[in-house]
Amino acid sequence: MSSLVQWLRKHERILLRIAAIFLILALLSIAIYQSDVFDLFMNRDRFDEARNYLLSFGSVGYFVFIFIVSLQVIIAPIPGQVTGLVGGYVYGPYLGTLLSSIGLGIGTMIVLILSRKFGRPFLEKLNSQEALAEVEILIKGYSERWFDRFQKGKEIGDQHSLLIFFLLMLLPAFPDDIICMVMGLGSIAIWKLVLLSVLGRLPGMLALSFTGAGLDLLPDWAFYVGLLGIAGMTIFGSYILKKIRGERY
């Protein structure tokens, strides 16, 4: 118990800042939700169109949605946040999260297999040099040793690398798909990367699904929970990103 008190005292300033930012974001989220601005970003008619389209397939619609999410991971025609919101809106928060996670897992597995088979030239065809450079710099900023192994094509499958990968998957609004492609160049078991990718994205996916469900299927409190979850993940992700990049940048 004493160790917990010491930890809280040591990180008191950081915790207070996080709490203050979290409160501000929560109040802003509620204000936006109650205003007309919300309708500009979340057009319910489009979500209704997506629902009607998926439900028109009957029970096969589950597989259609999983395919769309998988395709989004591979070629990214639409933002992943949109599919997460649609999943919650159409299927509810829990089933929507499950279907989205399955789609993410399948898409990530395909990306890792292709990346491992065809190497860096494959990555350069799907992504810009700037995007790849950003991911490489981020990785290098955290661990020179990991970056050097990646550059030389050697083994990067230690537990430290897996922890870094998991933390990066937690970051919202970050190029998760490109990170997965870069990790595919190493020799970490693909099933481990797929599992950590899905688990790392799970909190954000839950928040998106609850937010999407809150548009129509759940009471207002569920929508607030989703917004607060997204806000919390954004704060946590920003904190981790700052730690990863370090003082040198």
120 domain residue, yes or no: yes
Domain region containing 65: 23-31+43-245
Q: Please state, in angstroms and rounded to a whole number, the distance separating the CA atoms of residues 90 and 70.
A: 17
62 domain residue, yes or no: yes
Residue linked to tokens 């802003």: 28
Read off the pLDDT of residues 6-30 as tens digits, 9 standing for 90 and up: 665 666 666 666 666 556 655 655 5
* Structural tokens at position 222: 């569920």
* Structural tokens at position 234: 């954004």
7 domain residue, yes or no: no
Number of domains composing the chain: 1
Long-range CB contacts (within 8 A, 24+) of 160-166:
161/186, 161/188, 162/188, 162/192, 162/196, 164/139, 164/244, 165/193, 165/196, 165/197, 165/200, 166/196, 166/199, 166/200
Q: What is the pTM of this model?
A: 0.66
* Predicted pLDDT of residue 169: 82
53 domain residue, yes or no: yes
37 domain residue, yes or no: no
180 domain residue, yes or no: yes
Positions of the chain with pLDDT under 70: 1-45, 76-80, 136-161, 172-175, 216-249
* Structural tokens at position 52: 């009607």
Q: Please state, in angstroms and rounded to a whole number, the distance separating the CA atoms of residues 34 and 249.
A: 39
Q: Quick one: three-class SS letters along 179-224?
A: HHHHHHCCCCCHHHHHHHHHHHHHHHHHHHHHHHHHCCCCCHHHHH
Half-sphere exposure of 118 (CA within 13 A, CB side): 13
* Predicted pLDDT of residue 210: 81
5 domain residue, yes or no: no
